[in-house]
Structure 1
């Protein structure tokens, strides 16, 4: 099984499900259970440790919530790969950041078309609600696993970008049509995956996601609104605070 299966301590004040959780977690941390390896089913865990299936499930649920394990519908429970550390302070694109980490990235363009601007997009781009925009939705796949969804809107005047390859750097494609990104203003928020997002990412609806919502500017004018959704079990974000930063914290009511 790849972890300690000796009898649980029935006399310990530590609940049985936590004892199981600790054993599996320890095996993951020391490499006895390798990333992407399948973990025994809840029924098998229950039989191995002489506990109820509910107790075994509680242990697995906690490990899934911690991001140490993940479930794949119809296939079982697996050891999660190490989280990808993505710096928010860097000027690197997502593709460049993955390349710097030695990770293989591919992109599936889910949609690229003209679309009317929703209210939040119109507000961000300083255009009239319903105005024509370029809508680009892409699935970012890291090491063969769906990892993030990037949805971007550009003002309609940049429609020529639809003639470019959008599976690579969007920033480079924007520069080719005259929209050179100089800086961006981003916010980070924890959200839950909708059923559609979950299906695209290969996770369960309601799974935690990290959302980066931002506006990119060129010569002081907003040229791109982006909502990027990252799997919470695959990513962690870092911020370099060695220099003074404009950091604002907003508490939702």
Structure 2
């Protein structure tokens, strides 16, 4: 494909040039022209193709690397990553929103949906009594049709009456809670640990049993208190945690 086919930033638009470049590169990746694992053009050539300076280009590339779309290897170049969810300092969003922010096509498969009772850990997280009714939603989460993780969310039954009707929520759980019950997340606390994937989860995640994974426990609250306790098992090769430390 000729270099002239790449859309160049429009300096008359209000968006910064680096942002326009970022979106242009996202579009190229999404189109499949640069498939997963492929090396993108060198900075000098890519700058000419997009009509921007190296400083502007590097700003966009750094953002895309931080967002998990690109991987830089010193001495080799920059490569398109597989679908990766990067966790770090970020806004309180749903998995669906996070995936969309990364330019990935979100997918989900319901593994279990029904009522249960709170065990000790769930009761403590949701600030309810052990044995109280809870709604359980277990889903296989996908990015660009590739498995990323298994999430088991539990909601206190008293906060979400008749949640099982008409069936499992489609799309974002938070959007469903907001629309049906007026529940709006205000804060979430997360705990991360590393564990080995069990046999059953490994089959769903398309991994060998015993592969490393992140286990993430998340308690989300609104103005009334905790309304969601989620345990996620995320593929170690498709989920990253990045932090910025400052003095």
| Superposed pair shares fold, TM > 0.5 | yes
Please state how far the C-alpha of 1:130 moved relative to its aligned partner.
Answer: 1.6
The structure-2 alpha-carbon separation of the partners of 1:187 and 1:124, relative to structure 1 and needing over 3 Å to count, comes to same
Please state how far the C-alpha of 1:204 moved relative to its aligned partner.
Answer: 1.3
User: Please, which runs of 5 or more residues in structure 1 have no aligned partner?
Assistant: 1-33, 38-79, 245-253
- State the distance in 1 between where 2:217 and 2:86 align: 18
Report the 3-state secondary structure (helix = DSSP H, G, I; strand = E; otherwise coil) of the residue aligned with 1:162.
coil
The structure-2 alpha-carbon separation of the partners of 1:159 and 1:135, relative to structure 1 and needing over 3 Å to count, comes to farther
233, 236, 246: which one aligns with 1:232 = 236
Q: How does 1:234-249 map to 2 (within 5 A)?
A: 234-239=238-243
| 2:201 aligned residue | 197
Paired residue total: 170
Please state how far the C-alpha of 1:119 moved relative to its aligned partner.
Answer: 1.4
1:126 aligns with 2:127: yes
- State the distance in 1 between where 2:88 and 2:187 align: 15
The structure-2 alpha-carbon separation of the partners of 1:86 and 1:167, relative to structure 1 and needing over 3 Å to count, comes to farther
1:49-105 superposed Cα distances (whole Å, 9 cap, x missing partner): xxxxxxxxxxxxxxxxxxxxxxxxxxxxxxx83644234522232211211221111
1:166 aligns with 2:169: yes
| 1:211 aligned residue | 215
| 1:186 aligned residue | 190
1:88-137 superposed Cα distances (whole Å, 9 cap, x missing partner): 52223221121122111111111110001121101111112121110111
| 1:95 aligned residue | 96
- State the distance in 2 between where 1:98 and 1:150 align: 14
Please state how far the C-alpha of 1:218 moved relative to its aligned partner.
Answer: 1.5
User: Please, which runs of 5 or more residues in structure 2 have no aligned partner?
Assistant: 1-34, 39-80
- State the distance in 1 between where 2:130 and 2:96 align: 31
- State the distance in 1 between where 2:133 and 2:87 align: 33
The structure-2 alpha-carbon separation of the partners of 1:198 and 1:189, relative to structure 1 and needing over 3 Å to count, comes to same
**TM norm structure 1:** 0.60
1:146-185 superposed Cα distances (whole Å, 9 cap, x missing partner): 1111111111121433236523111111222232221111
**TM norm structure 2:** 0.62
Please state how far the C-alpha of 1:240 moved relative to its aligned partner.
Answer: 5.2
1:161–1:177 contact (8 Å) kept in structure 2? no
Q: After TM superposition, what 4+ stretches of structure 1 lie above 3 angstroms from structure 2?
A: 34-37, 239-242
1:136 aligns with 2:137: yes
- State the distance in 2 between where 1:134 and 1:240 align: 36
| 1:63 aligned residue | none
Report the 3-state secondary structure (helix = DSSP H, G, I; strand = E; otherwise coil) of the residue aligned with 2:174.
helix
Please state how far the C-alpha of 1:214 moved relative to its aligned partner.
Answer: 1.4
1:191–1:209 contact (8 Å) kept in structure 2? yes
